[in-house]
């Protein structure tokens, strides 16, 4: 997608977030605290520091176990919602900025840009940064391109309502305040809990 990545480190992350997680037994709530802006280079140095770097692991399953065991310790920093793409101009193959969907009409004919919906967003993560369980804005489909990193969990759409009902049962305070509280991106439910309650999921 790019001839080189030399200029990526100069990108600015305008609103990094520190992810504080509370909970136990596979059920967690994540709170985001906005931090000062930083460049991708500064973020990379932080991510590779002794405090934040990924621990040694044998295989993906070992890393996944360490993730769920250590979720509430050392709140990571997430470079989320960075408007833009790291694709070179003119490249259209696999380029999220050129999907040729009906959403392009909103931009081309109406002149409306909806960041993260009909424009691409970049996310810079480190060990334990997490995009919590959620449904997409307006129930739109989501397309993600993982340049580097570990798999994501996904529940098939036909089981989405079951996941929402399960989450409402485990987080009654959140669900009473908002029926669509999973859209707030604060809820973490471990795979072991999903398996226990028969919610199918994939790691992609």
* Residue 191 within any structural domain of the chain: yes
The answer to whether residues 189 and 164 touch, using CB atoms and an 8 Å cutoff, is no
DSSP structure string for 41-76: HHHHHHHTSTTTSPPP-SSHHHHHHHHHHSTTSS--
pLDDT, tens only, 80-134: 999 988 888 888 888 888 887 887 777 778 888 888 888 889 999 999 999 999 8
* Residue 75 within any structural domain of the chain: yes
Entry pTM: 0.89
Task: Evaluate if residue 1 carries a pLDDT over 70.
Answer: no
* pLDDT at 139 (0 to 100): 78
Q: Which domain holds residue 163?
A: 8-203
* pLDDT at 45 (0 to 100): 98
* Residue 190 within any structural domain of the chain: yes
| Phi and psi, residue 2, nearest 5° | -135, 150
* pLDDT at 9 (0 to 100): 92
Tally of domains in the chain: 1
* Residue 165 within any structural domain of the chain: yes
pLDDT band at 194 (very low <50, low <70, confident <90, very high): very high
Strands in 27-34's sheet, in edge-to-edge order, are 121-124, 77-83, 17-24, 27-34, 187-189
* Residue 167 within any structural domain of the chain: yes
* Residue 158 within any structural domain of the chain: yes
CATH number reported for the structural domain that contains residue 166 in this entry: 2.60.120.650
* Residue 178 within any structural domain of the chain: yes
> Cα separations (Å) of 121 from 33, 144, 167, 197, 203?
19, 9, 27, 33, 22
Which among 17, 16, 122, 26 has a CA at the least distance from the CA of 67?
26
* Residue 51 within any structural domain of the chain: yes
């Amino acid at each position: 997608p790019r001839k080189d990545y030399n200029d990526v480190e100069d990108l600015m992350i305008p609103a990094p977030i520190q992810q504080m997680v509370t909970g136990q037994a596979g059920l967690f709530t994540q709170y985001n605290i906005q931090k000062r802006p930083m460049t991708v280079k500064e973020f990379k140095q932080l991510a590779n520091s002794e405090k934040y770097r990924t621990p040694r692991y044998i295989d993906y399953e070992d890393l996944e176990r360490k993730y769920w065991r250590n979720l509430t310790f050392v709140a990571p920093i997430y470079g989320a919602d960075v408007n833009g793409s790291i694709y070179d101009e003119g490249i259209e193959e696999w380029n999220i900025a050129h999907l040729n969907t009906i959403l392009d009409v909103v931009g081309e004919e109406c002149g409306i840009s909806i960041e993260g919906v009909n424009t691409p967003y970049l996310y810079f993560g480190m060990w334990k940064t997490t995009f919590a369980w959620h449904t997409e804005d307006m129930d739109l489909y989501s397309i993600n391109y993982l340049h580097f990193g570990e798999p994501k969990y996904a529940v098939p759409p036909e089981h989405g309502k079951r996941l929402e009902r399960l989450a409402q049962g485990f987080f009654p305070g959140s669900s009473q305040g908002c029926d669509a509280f999973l859209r707030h991106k604060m809820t973490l439910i471990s795979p072991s809990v999903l398996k226990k309650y028969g919610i199918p999921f994939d790691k992609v």
